Amino acid sequence: MGSLHRNVRDAPLWFSAACLRYKTQAFMLYQSLLVLTRDIKHVLSAYCWKGGWVIATRCIQGNGQRHVSRASASLGDVPPDLTREGSIHKAQHAGSGRGTCLDNEPLKRDFLYPTVAPGQVYDADEQCRFQYGASSRQCKYGEVCRELWCLSKSNRCVTNSIPAAEGTLCQTGSIDKGWCYQGECVAFGTWPQSVDGDWGPWSIWGECSRTCGGGVSSSVRHCDSPAPSGGGKYCLGERKRYRSCNTDACPAGSRDFREKQCADFDSMPFRGKYYNWKPYTGGGVKPCALNCLAEGYNFYTERSPAVIDGTRCQGDSLDICINGECKHVGCDNILGSDAKEDRCRVCGGDGSTCEATEGLFNDSLPRGGYMEVIQIPRGSVHIEIKEVAMSKNYIALKSEGDDYYINGAWTIDWPRKFDIAGTAFHYKRPSDEPESLEALGATTENLVVMVLLQEQNLGIRYKFNVPITRTGSGDNEVGFSWHHLPWSECSATCAGGSQKQEVVCKRLDDGSVVQNTYCDPDSKPPENQRACNTEPCPPEWFIGDWSDCSKTCDGGMRTRTVLCIRKIGPAEEETLEDSLCLTHRPIERESCNNQSCPPQWVTLDWSECTPKCGPGFKHRIVLCKSSDLTKTFPPAHCPDHNKPPVRIRCSLGRCPPPRWIPGEWGQCSAQCGLGQQMRTVQCLSYTGQPSSECAESLRPPTMQQCESKCDATPISNAEECKDVNKVAYCPLVLKFKFCSRAYFRQMCCKTCQGH
């Protein structure tokens, strides 16, 4: 842990004391810087150093490759889900030629860093007031160093995803009083000691990209021994290296490597159709992109942004593509080699085995037609044929046997590349320049340059280099023979490499190396090859790829395989005890995705289905909770588009049909003798609601006959039982037997007595 005062190089980004007079403007500028830093991070893939964005502003040149280094700005706007991949991406981006915008060195300036942290001048509540008004205050006290939450004018707890200012007071389970430093809550007045990153060991060389014709293999190392932390520097230098492999020429008749890559797309539909694809290397395309021409159709397309590593940039060039960029290859087929061909196309030669032939042909025919310009002998190199000025005439090319290769039989070919006599002829006919024909050579047969005249010949210049045929003393020609060169360097420093002796053609008189065409190909001896440096390699660390993070937020872990191995053969390794590897053991487990998870929807259990039968609904409660489920937020804090449903349809089976429900019988209408009693009968559903769906034929009766027992006790007082004077029908009551009814019995008591 450091003290409160630090040197200028490591000073945190505090605000100066002069800004205090303009506190509102100063703090809003600070917040704007954080937002700007966050946006720049997305553009430049800024690397995250445990809480600070390190903005890449310059490239370091090393071993032919540029690598991004960091500038000195370090802010606390930190979603800490980024790891070393961010900086690796920058290195890959720059290494593939897309980092040239970072070539310029930044201006060197001396800064005076203030020593007062802005969070000490403006506490969290004051910072909220700057952003949301005078009534705002801090409303969430958890990860204040990662996100500052404030009450808005609508009294909602909101955040703009920006952390509290450096130096803001904070508290954690293990720190009673702390302050924010680079997105972390650390003990007040201190900050973690920065640790600069250092490179881990190189991985073993990977598989060669080609089996012949010159491929590449690669080896990588990671900045993890240790990884930078606490604002420490990322490693400078080469992260990935390449070397040539399998440089022997492919067997005669082998398929062109770029052609094979295009053919691999024959079985894949393109816009719903299948085509046979051939390489397209015309103008206007990147040499290391895989552009393929649909055979029989007049269009080409980019099938891949980059060809496989080891593919030739151009058909007549030794340079190869690596990571989508063209890289120089010497004439000895070694990546980055300085070996060059001389003017005779002899690798490492002195130009003494050929002589230049050049001239101007300006003869014409009065009636036009084909006319010979110059003969090109077998073995010629660096052939250039070009009109002096634009005309209606056409350059043509044929064999000694009058077989035309270009522009024969009064038919004009499209400008393109022609594979003729063991080399590639480039026929060009631009609309604003004279016509030309060029080839590197060497040619494997004698050729004749012709011109098809349609108007006055203004002149055709020709130039090429012809192999020299020298004679020694006397009239005998100089002889040539095959010779083995000295043993090459061993292809590996340990675990078994190989050396070879190439076979070259030499002059017998002075021993100089000449083109192979001078020697008899049938008598060419095979190249010699032998094993070398067969002793085992020193132990080294094998480092596997990182696994996916176990969590997307709230802190997960990721792992990788780390083994101490020793290479004991070209394709054989053995695993050793860790103690036998002398360098620091790379880490195999680290935290990842440490940023807080956003609020999430949490569902409670479903209620029972209501009603108990037939279609109904189940209900549940859905809450907006913090990722640790300890806090509940208003629903507006969780995304509305993925809110779980709070009600779903359900059914517990078909409901029973409605049925007649009879009530209790009422009192008998007669107090003595026969009468009637009534009851209610209702058609009800299973829920007790009235229904009209009951079958009428099944309806129970609502009335029935009843009989009450009569009281025969004589009435002692005759005056109490008498007919009502006003009633004159009492005899009829008795006659029709209505005495059993209470009303008539009361009105005609005397008449009905005893009956």
- Token pair 């590197």 is found at 440
d(CA 361, CA 457): 9
d(CA 265, CA 275): 8
Query: What is the CA 127 to chain-centroid distance, rounded?
Result: 37
Structure tokens at 238: 């080469």
The three-state secondary structure class of 100 is helix
**CB atoms near residue 614 (< 10 Å):** 16
Q: Are 113 and 134 in contact (CB under 8 A)?
A: no
d(CA 485, CA 505): 10
Q: What is the largest CA-CA distance in the chain?
A: 189
The three-state secondary structure class of 129 is helix
DSSP 8-state code for residue 277: E
d(CA 25, CA 419): 71
Query: What is the CA 356 to chain-centroid distance, rounded?
Result: 55
DSSP 8-state code for residue 273: B
DSSP 8-state code for residue 312: B
d(CA 206, CA 247): 16
Label residue 268 exposed, middle or buried (CB < 10 Å: 0-12, 13-18, 19+): exposed
- Token pair 């003798």 is found at 673
Position 371: which residue type?
A: M
Asked whether residue 748 is marked as a ligand-binding residue, the answer is no
Closest by CA position to 349, among listed 328, 329, 327, 332: 332
Residue 89 φ/ψ, nearest 5 degrees: -60, -40
- The HSE-up count of residue 382 (CA atoms within 13 Å, CB side) is 17
Provide the terminal-to-terminal Cα distance of the chain, rounded to the nearest Å: 122
Label residue 344 exposed, middle or buried (CB < 10 Å: 0-12, 13-18, 19+): buried
* C-alpha to C-alpha distances, 42 to 56, 69, 84, 145, 593, nearest whole angstrom: 11, 16, 15, 21, 17
Angle subtended by helix axes 124-132 and 23-44, to nearest 10: 80
d(CA 240, CA 325): 14
DSSP 8-state code for residue 172: -
Torsion over CA: 626, 632, 637, 640 (sign)? positive
- Token pair 């881990």 is found at 200
Residue 651 φ/ψ, nearest 5 degrees: -155, 135
d(CA 311, CA 72): 40
Task: Annotate 335-394 with three-state secondary structure.
Answer: ECCCCCECCCCCECCCCCCEEEEEEEECCCCCCCEEEEEEEECCCCEEEEEEECCCCCCE
d(CA 248, CA 583): 36
- State the binding site for Ca(2+): 101
- State the binding site: 101
